[in-house]
């Protein structure tokens, strides 16, 4: 074989090898885009998420916040109820803006004033000179098409605040955030949790009932050996506030808020401690 023939054969071999590599590349399956994740934490203010180009489906993981604990007197204050969790798939349009609200935990009191309710519907606990109630936690939600309560498409209910402790016993614990209803506050008769259609109800006075998007205030009371009720947690509908502790009765915890989501959503009740959180996942 001549030198020129050998060179032509070598060049032909390279071309054939390149064509084979290109053919294999064309037959190989396309790489799936790596999932993306946006995380939103409690800031006590509304936030926003803009749907990226080409994205038409997102998955929302929303966690409601925990209620604040009641203050101890002779006996311990009630623990704040834990927030609920929702995992929901939403159809979206590229470029649209969603409002994201992350619930903040209800406060444990540091003075005679009841604990402040957390951002997004948490209610204040009942005042008391020695053992005030904890504040209700704030719900976490995603709103589409507007910023009003009617625009919420996913809601993770929050826990209620705990009642203050006194000689009759420990304060009642706050109810948990959950679905279909928030948990009732500890104590009897308890302030109930929010439902899918109404706020939680407390038969006593002067605790407040829950309402659309917000919990009811915990009952305030003065005098020796008394204690304040816990505030209701925020949610689709908020939990009722807890009654005050007086005579033979303990202070009641506030009811938890209800969670909400579209068909196919997955709900967990009473699983989130501390502040709420929202995560949004998608594939580009």
| Residue 32: per-residue pLDDT | 59
pLDDT digits over 154-208, tens only? 999 999 999 999 988 899 999 999 999 999 999 877 789 999 999 999 876 678 9
H or E, element range at 11: helix 3-27
Residue 25 has pLDDT above 50, yes or no: no
Dump strand ranges (E) for 52-119: 57-63, 83-91, 97-101
Surface-to-core class of residue 221, CB atoms within 10 Å of its CB (0-12 exposed, 13-18 middle, 19+ buried)? buried
- Count of Cβ atoms closer than 10 Å to residue 280 Cβ: 21
Nearest to 133 by CA among 105, 111, 158: 111
pLDDT digits over 67-94, tens only? 999 999 889 999 999 999 999 999 999 9
Domain boundaries, the chain: 1-30, 37-284
The reported pTM is 0.87
Q: What's the token pair of residue 149?
A: 């309560």
């Amino acid at each position: 074989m001549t030198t020129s023939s050998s060179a032509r054969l070598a060049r032909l071999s390279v071309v054939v090898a390149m064509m084979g590599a290109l053919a294999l590349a064309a037959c190989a399956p396309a790489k799936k885009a790596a999932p993306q994740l946006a995380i939103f934490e409690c800031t006590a203010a509304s936030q926003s998420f803009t749907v990226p180009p080409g994205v038409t489906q997102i998955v929302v993981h929303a966690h409601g916040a925990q209620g604040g604990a009641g203050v101890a007197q002779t006996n311990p204050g009630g623990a704040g109820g834990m927030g609920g969790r929702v995992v929901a798939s939403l159809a979206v349009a590229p470029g649209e803006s969603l409002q994201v609200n992350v619930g903040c935990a209800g406060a444990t009191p540091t003075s005679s004033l009841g604990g402040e309710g957390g951002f997004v519907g948490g209610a204040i606990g009942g005042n008391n000179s020695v053992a005030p109630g904890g504040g209700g936690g704030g719900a976490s939600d995603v709103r589409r098409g507007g910023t009003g309560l009617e625009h919420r498409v996913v809601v993770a209910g929050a826990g209620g605040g705990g009642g203050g402790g006194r000689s009759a016993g420990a304060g009642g614990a706050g109810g948990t955030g959950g679905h279909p209803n928030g948990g009732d506050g500890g104590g009897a008769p308890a302030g109930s949790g929010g439902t899918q259609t109404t706020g939680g109800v407390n038969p006593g006075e002067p605790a407040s009932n829950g309402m659309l998007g917000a919990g009811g205030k915990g009952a305030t009371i003065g005098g020796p050996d008394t204690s304040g009720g816990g505030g209701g947690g925020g949610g689709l509908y908020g939990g009722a506030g807890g009654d005050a502790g007086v005579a033979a009765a303990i202070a009641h915890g506030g009811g938890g808020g209800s969670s909400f989501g579209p068909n196919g959503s997955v709900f967990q009740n009473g699983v989130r401690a501390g502040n709420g959180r929202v995560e949004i996942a998608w594939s580009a």
